[in-house]
Structure 1
Amino acid sequence: MWFKHLHLYRLHGAPSIATAQLEEALSSQLARPLGGADARRMGWCAPAGRAGSGQLLHELQGQRLMAALRQERLLPASVVREEVEERVAELESQESRKLSRKEKTAIKEEVTEALLPRAFVRSQKVELWWDTRNNLIGINSSSRSRAEEVLDLLRETLGSLKVTPLATKTLPIRAMTTWLSDAASRPGDLQLGDQVELKAKGDDGVLRARQVDLDSDEIQQLLESGRQASKLALNIEGRLAFVLHDDLALKSLRFGDALIEEADHAEDGDDALVRLETDFILMAQALSQDIARLVEWLDGETETTRDGATDAAPLSAPA
């Protein structure tokens, strides 16, 4: 189980909750099948699936793994529109008049309610990593809104939860632009990848490039014209490759061969649950170390104070 994407959040005044107490709280918000009239629902599920025997929480060396199941009914707008148009046309013909906007809206609501139980259900599992040593939460989702939904579920489960998106003193867009334009500014163990997104200050839009030499003259000319790097592929010492976004999201994560080989050679007795926990703790430790390094390169965290939250402690790599 290796994360593909990561949205990072700082926990403020992190709740001290024992493993057993947390698992009991998670069980109160279990994922359940959608009811006939439900458009969407989210609840906690076992990260290991059937292999986990319903275990909702895995905790190893201060690292917690949970998973939320998001279910959503897929009801195409075109299907609703066609049914509404048919009903409206039929009523207008019967009554020899044009229906009002309010009447059409009411018909649309009726059609949606009638079709919803027959719509397909899409399910998505979203993993949550809670680093209790560093008061950090990471959510494995490409979508910030999906990550926020999982945080809302955790907040509802715990009763309260003070978190803010992880933020650094130097904005990622500024650092990425500097690293891209000035090779000497790059930390010694940071290498550029082959993907970039350059954003113009005016109305010239966004330029995306893949599989390119980011030190090429073409890229440098674009930077000289005033463009800034809003996304940049990076590699930390061959341990972790990712695309850094201007909101500090890490996407398209790829873990180094040495770490994957270490996981592959670990003794698990062909037990799927042991395999998941082995992969998770190796991944969590690597992420803790490399996120701390990245934050340091961005001149540390901002002293965020929001909603009465206290200043965040700095990240530290595990011993």
Structure 2
Amino acid sequence: MFFRNLTLFRFSPAVATDLDRLDEALAEHRLRPCGPLEMFTKGFVPPVGRGEGEPLTHTVKQCTLLTVGGEDKLLPAAVINDELQRKVQKIAEEEGRKVGGRERKRIKEDLLTELLPRAFVRNSRMSVYADKKHGWLVLDTSSRKSAENALTQIREALGSFPAVPLAPEEGPRVLMTDWLATGNLPAGLTLGDECELRDPATATGAIARCRRQDLDAEEVKEHLRNGKQVFMLGLTFDERISFVLGEDLIVRKLKFLDVVMDELGDSHEDARAELDAGFALLTLELERLLGKLEEWFGLPRPADS
């Protein structure tokens, strides 16, 4: 249940009200299996259970969980090209002629029609939740492209969903560089053991990556004195959550520490009770962390238009 990465968007109070119809809207956009000649399908699947009648959302207090699903056919271009070359060569040998571009294109289309029904299918799932009280849309991915694709799915289901990327008033790179250089971090925040430093002056500037490293070490400070800035920084919040924060404000390698996991316990009656407990704990912990990100970097919630 616990998210491993956080890509974040914000939405206004008016948009939060519109999310009350989310379960009804998603019902018409359930994930369906890939057809024989389809490369992929996208849709929504139940956060818990696999039955046809299972709800597509799960709400605890002000937070609503949903799962964006997909099925993709695995048909590598190399396989198609090898088969195409074999057919073209066979025509050249048997008929003594070259295959033109138009005929080659037709042969390739015929190959797709022949091979697609036999291709393996890969399933994908992405957990997403909306905090309607505070205006956060939280996606369990570190890929901006994947997050945008999932957001598009939600928008298509709702007809409109004006969630926007984060717009920090404080430059994340500058602020995190200051944290690392001075050791003057906000209350409750401590340095982890990982960072990525880059020279921002040039597109191909030097990059220094540290893992399992004391970030107070002199060699790290020397990189900063030489003009490098922080692009990723490992942090621990209130000794309860560790993560790596990027200058794009994507939270990577999110981990809930033992003190949090001990609060979850392991005595749950069924999968739904376990989901309830896990989701409640997840959203409570992240409410505090996201509130601090909002404070540190100045991440305003959009106002109603």
With normalisation by structure 2, the TM-score equals 0.92
Q: Secondary structure at the match of 1:49?
A: coil
Equivalent position amino acid for 2:63 in 1: Q
- Alpha-carbon distance between aligned partners in 2 of 1:29 and 1:176, rounded to the nearest angstrom: 41
1:10 alignment counterpart: 10
Q: Secondary structure at the match of 2:123?
A: strand
Q: 1:246 to 1:226 in 2, by over 3 A?
A: same
1:254 alignment counterpart: 255
1:235 alignment counterpart: 236
Is this contact kept in 1: 2:5–2:141, CA < 8 A?
A: yes
Unpaired stretches in structure 1, ≥5 consecutive residues: 304-309, 314-319
2:286 alignment counterpart: 287
Q: Secondary structure at the match of 1:90?
A: helix
2:214 alignment counterpart: 213
1:85 alignment counterpart: 85
Is this contact kept in 2: 1:52–1:273, CA < 8 A?
A: no
Q: 1:293 to 1:18 in 2, by over 3 A?
A: closer
Give me the identity figure in percent. 33
- Alpha-carbon distance between aligned partners in 2 of 1:111 and 1:159, rounded to the nearest angstrom: 37
1:58 alignment counterpart: 58
CA shift digits 1:260-309 (9 cap, x unpaired):
111116x63x22101101110111121011111122112x1258xxxxxx
- Alpha-carbon distance between aligned partners in 1 of 2:283 and 2:304, rounded to the nearest angstrom: 20
Is this contact kept in 2: 1:51–1:273, CA < 8 A?
A: no
With normalisation by structure 1, the TM-score equals 0.88
1:119 alignment counterpart: 119
CA deviation after TM superposition for structure 1 residue 95, in Å: 4.4
Is residue 153 from structure 1 mapped to residue 188 from structure 2 by the alignment? no
CA shift digits 1:20-63 (9 cap, x unpaired):
x3212111100111111111111111111348961211111111
1:271 alignment counterpart: 270
CA deviation after TM superposition for structure 1 residue 199, in Å: 1.7
1:130 alignment counterpart: 130
Q: 1:48 to 1:101 in 2, by over 3 A?
A: same
Is this contact kept in 1: 2:293–2:299, CA < 8 A?
A: no
Q: 1:18 to 1:145 in 2, by over 3 A?
A: closer
1:225 alignment counterpart: 226
**Count, aligned residues:** 302
Equivalent position amino acid for 2:43 in 1: G
CA deviation after TM superposition for structure 1 residue 230, in Å: 0.9
CA deviation after TM superposition for structure 1 residue 205, in Å: 4.2
- Alpha-carbon distance between aligned partners in 1 of 2:280 and 2:52, rounded to the nearest angstrom: 16
Is this contact kept in 2: 1:236–1:290, CA < 8 A?
A: yes
Equivalent position amino acid for 2:286 in 1: L
Q: Secondary structure at the match of 1:28?
A: helix
1:301 alignment counterpart: 299
